[in-house]
């Protein structure tokens, strides 16, 4: 039974976060401990590098089991098992390993991402990087934290001094929405752009002030839900650079996360290629 059944109270959100943290720590430990075992890599239909390991499945099963034990009848939307796309009722949105390509290649940039989403809005979220033991947490209205220390997005308002990060979809060779051109545009401006390979970490790093902005053309709910809450709670901004589409915390089409101060300037560059 939860500390409080009253939706949205501080105690309720903290109780949701505690459940997510417990599951993320356990899943993170599991995938880190077993990373050198036979990962049984198979490939998904979309994209020749879109792989899945047995540890993605094991992590997701463990997270669902732990949340299910704490909350009877919990609803899920998880990368490997799918689930409920209607995110009005409280739903747990799970990426059991974000950065699977890194994980499968022994690159330590991967994480577990879990968010509680209600009314299409994340209300509690955790991003846990087991290799660095960095635990990013946030609750709606309660702030964002890294290992318990409050997070603040950067204050840089000068695009020329920015450091950015991006990611590419598994069909990058088709250059959707000019994503390769946007990458080149920023590089031609002399702006460093990183590509870490984990959207959830990219967002958490914006929240931590390590990056001034992060964009990607096509993501999924499980990539953004937890990290988006962190960005917002750290004083940053979440939105889309698709012209005519509304901003929001669960944007997955042409997503832009920023420190706020640089949002319009970054969006302007992206819209040269991908606005419509």
**Binding positions for ligand IPD, rule: CB under 6 A:** 79, 95, 98-101, 167-169, 197-199, 216, 219, 223
What percent of the chain is helix, strand and coil (3-state, nearest 5)? 35, 25, 40
Residue 19 binding partner per list Ca ion, ligand IPD, none, with a CB distance cut-off of 5 to 8 Å that depends on partner kind: none
The SS3 call for residue 141 is coil
Does residue 79 bind Ca ion (CB under 5 A)?
A: yes
- Of the candidates 248, 163, 266, which has an alpha carbon nearest to the alpha carbon of residue 208? 163
Q: Give the whole-angstrom CA distance, residue 257 versus residue 260.
A: 8
Nearer to ligand IPD, 67 or 203 (CB): 203
Does residue 60 bind Ca ion (CB under 5 A)?
A: no
Does residue 221 bind Ca ion (CB under 5 A)?
A: no
Q: Give the residue at shortest CB distance from Ca ion.
A: 98
Nearer to ligand IPD, 116 or 199 (CB): 199
Question: Which residue spans within the chain are E strands per DSSP?
Answer: 42-43, 51-52, 75-78, 82-83, 91-98, 111-118, 121-129, 134-139, 143-146, 149-150, 164-166, 193-194, 213-218, 237-240, 253-258
Nearer to ligand IPD, 168 or 186 (CB): 168
Does residue 98 bind Ca ion (CB under 5 A)?
A: yes
Nearer to Ca ion, 121 or 221 (CB): 221
Question: What is the side-by-side strand order in the sheet with 164-166?
Answer: 193-194, 164-166, 213-218, 253-258, 237-240
- In whole angstroms, the minimum distance from the beta carbon of 253 to ligand IPD comes to 12
- In whole angstroms, the minimum distance from the beta carbon of 164 to Ca ion comes to 19
**Residue span binding Ca ion (CB under 5 A) among the ranges 33-41, 65-73, 102-110, 217-225:** 217-225
Does residue 95 bind Ca ion (CB under 5 A)?
A: yes
Return the residue of 151, 223, 252, 260 that touches Ca ion, per CB under 5 A.
223
Hey, what are 127's tokens?
A: 């991003």
Enumerate binding residues for Ca ion (CB under 5 A): 79, 95, 97-98, 100, 223
């Amino acid at each position: 039974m939860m500390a409080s059944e009253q939706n949205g109270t501080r105690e309720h959100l903290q109780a949701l976060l505690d459940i997510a943290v417990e599951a993320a720590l356990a899943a993170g430990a599991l995938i880190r401990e077993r990373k050198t075992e036979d990962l049984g890599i198979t490939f998904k239909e979309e994209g020749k590098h879109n792989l899945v390991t047995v540890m993605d499945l094991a992590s997701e099963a463990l997270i669902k089991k732990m949340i299910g034990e704490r909350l009877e009848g919990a609803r899920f939307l998880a990368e490997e098992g799918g689930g409920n796309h209607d995110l009005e009722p409280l739903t747990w949105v799970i990426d059991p390993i974000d950065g699977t390509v890194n994980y499968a290649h022994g690159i330590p940039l991967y994480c577990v991402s879990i968010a509680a989403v209600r009314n299409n809005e994340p209300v509690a979220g955790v991003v846990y990087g087991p290799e660095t033991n960095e635990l990013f947490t946030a609750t709606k209205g309660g702030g964002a934290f890294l290992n318990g220390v409050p997070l603040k997005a950067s204050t840089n308002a000068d695009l020329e001094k920015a450091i950015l990060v991006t990611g590419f979809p598994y069909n990058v060779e088709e250059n959707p929405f000019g994503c390769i051109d946007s990458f080149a545009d920023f590089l031609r401006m002399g702006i460093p752009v990183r590509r870490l390979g984990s959207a959830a970490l990219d967002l958490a790093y914006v929240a931590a002030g390590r990056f001034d902005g992060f964009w990607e053309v096509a993501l999924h709910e499980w990539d953004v839900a937890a990290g988006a809450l962190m960005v917002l709670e750290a004083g940053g901004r979440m939105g889309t650079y698709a012209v005519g589409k509304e901003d929001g915390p669960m944007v997955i089409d042409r997503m832009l996360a920023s420190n706020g101060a640089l949002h319009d300037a970054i969006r302007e560059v992206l819209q040269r290629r991908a606005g419509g």
